[in-house]
Structure formats: C-alpha cells, structure tokens
C-alpha cells in the first residue's frame, strides 16, 4: 500500500476530512496520512483507541513517535496525557492500551536504526525556550544527526524569516492557524515539505505546531 509516499512532493491534508479505517484491532481505527507498506509499513497516521482498547506486546523494528492529541494513552512504562510526546527507539517494545480512549499522531519506522534514545515529554509540564524571533517559544523534543523534532508556539502576529529546510520539514498544527505564502493551515492540518523546500511562515492568530525537520533525505524501500 502506498499513500503519499513520494517525499519529493509537497502535501497538506486536513485530517478531519479523512475517513477512519480499520486496524487489525477492532477497537482501534486510523486515518492514513502517508504509508509505504501494509501492516508492517513506514507510516504516519492519526490513530484512535476506543475506551479499553489494547494491543499485545510487540516490537518496533525502526521505532515510533507518538503525540497524544486527546485522552490518555498508556503502556507498561506509564500513562501519557494529552500533549505528551513519546519516542520509542528502534528495537523497543511495549503493550499499549487506553483505559478511557485516546487519539494519537503516530509515526512508524521513520527513525534512524542507531537512534537509541527514548523520550517522554509533556508540553504542559516542561519549560519552553525563546525562539529565534520575538513571539516564538520552542520546546525541543528530539535531536539525532540531521533530524530535529520540537513543538513551537507562535504568538499572534509572529513572522519568521524565509528559510530553506535541509532534509525537508513536517508539521502538524495542534492549535490555532499556521500560515505561509503557500496557504493557511488550521488545527488538524498535516503539512509535509520536501528536501530544500523554502517558505516564509507566520501566524496571524497564533498557533502551536509539532514540527520535524531533516528526516526526508532518504527512505527505506516499500515493504511488501
């Protein structure tokens, strides 16, 4: 299965417009943003757990990243509230579940094989730092070689300089409206821009975005 798997193409999707599709667990549904493969796939998805949903313990060969959009997500390591980022490194395993239900942003098989760091950060309980321009606050989440992942808060009326992204850029708009010369992206929009793409971002109303850069230089072959 191949969905938006050409990283040379710029794409933006309002995930609320996508249908929910079944997963192997009848209590878990997903909206596929990008996918290269079938049940074992390099994938980016919105995933919804119904209350009481659980998976048997399994291993993520090339890791996973999770951002909790709603509810509480859990595994044997702990409980993760709305606003929590989790990076489980390649080769790690867990048995995830949700007692009350939750909605997640999930990336599978996007991490470098030798990235061994596990990360858990809650945006509501961690200190943010000043950004490169007035009006920006940044919460670093993960860094490895060319790859950088962070949350960024834009105050209303904040403008950033035009810049180019080595290794591409991926954004999920969490709150508010993010903008650039290419368009206007309200909460629930996923934007992926290719290697060496350029833009001049701003936010008139203010927003919070999850952003990952430097990870779109190459990808593994499609998985049968």
**Domain end call among 60, 86, 121:** 121
User: Is the sign of the CA dihedral 14, 44, 1, 3 positive or negative?
Assistant: positive
Give the start-end residues of each E strand in 101-168.
102-108, 119-122, 129-130, 136-144, 147-154, 158-159, 163-165
In this predicted structure, what is the pLDDT of residue 109? 87
- The reported pLDDT for the residue numbered 224 is 36
Confidence at residue 222, expressed as pLDDT on a 0 to 100 scale: 40
- pLDDT, averaged in runs of 10, over the chain (224 residues): 90 96 94 87 93 93 95 96 97 95 95 93 97 97 95 98 95 98 97 96 98 80 40
Same domain, 108 and 164: no
pLDDT at 186: 98
| Residue 146 sits in the same domain as residue 59 | no
Q: Which residues pair with 102 in a beta bridge?
A: 49, 71
pLDDT for the residue 223 = 41
> CA separation (Å) from 37 to 79, 89, 191?
30, 20, 21
Containing structural domain, residue 60: 18-121
Provide the token pair at 199.
Answer: 């833009």
Residue 220's pLDDT is: 45
Whether 156 is in a domain gets the answer: yes
Report yes or no: 158 and 135 within 8 Å, Cβ to Cβ: yes
User: Does residue 219 lie in a domain region?
Assistant: no
Q: Is 127 helix (H, G, I), strand (E, B) or coil?
A: coil
């Amino acid at each position: 299965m191949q969905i938006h798997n050409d990283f040379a193409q710029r794409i933006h999707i309002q995930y609320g417009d996508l249908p929910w599709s079944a997963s192997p667990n009848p209590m878990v549904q997903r909206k596929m943003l990008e996918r290269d493969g079938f049940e074992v796939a390099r994938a980016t998805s919105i995933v919804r757990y119904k209350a009481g949903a659980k998976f048997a313990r399994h291993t993520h060969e090339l890791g996973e990243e999770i951002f909790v959009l709603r509810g509480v997500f859990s595994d044997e390591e702990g409980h993760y509230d709305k606003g929590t980022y989790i990076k489980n490194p390649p080769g790690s395993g867990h048995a995830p579940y949700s007692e009350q239900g939750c909605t997640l942003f999930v990336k599978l098989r996007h991490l470098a094989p030798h990235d061994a760091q596990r990360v858990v950060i809650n945006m509501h309980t961690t200190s943010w730092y000043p950004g490169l321009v007035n009006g920006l606050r940044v919460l670093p989440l993960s860094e490895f070689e060319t790859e950088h992942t962070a949350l960024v808060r834009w105050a209303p009326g904040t403008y950033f300089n035009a810049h180019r992204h080595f290794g591409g850029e991926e954004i999920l708009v969490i709150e508010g409206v993010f903008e650039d010369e290419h368009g206007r992206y309200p909460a629930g929009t996923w934007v992926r821009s290719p290697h060496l793409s350029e833009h001049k971002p701003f936010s008139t109303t203010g927003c919070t975005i999850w952003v990952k850069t430097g990870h779109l230089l190459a990808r593994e072959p499609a998985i049968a």
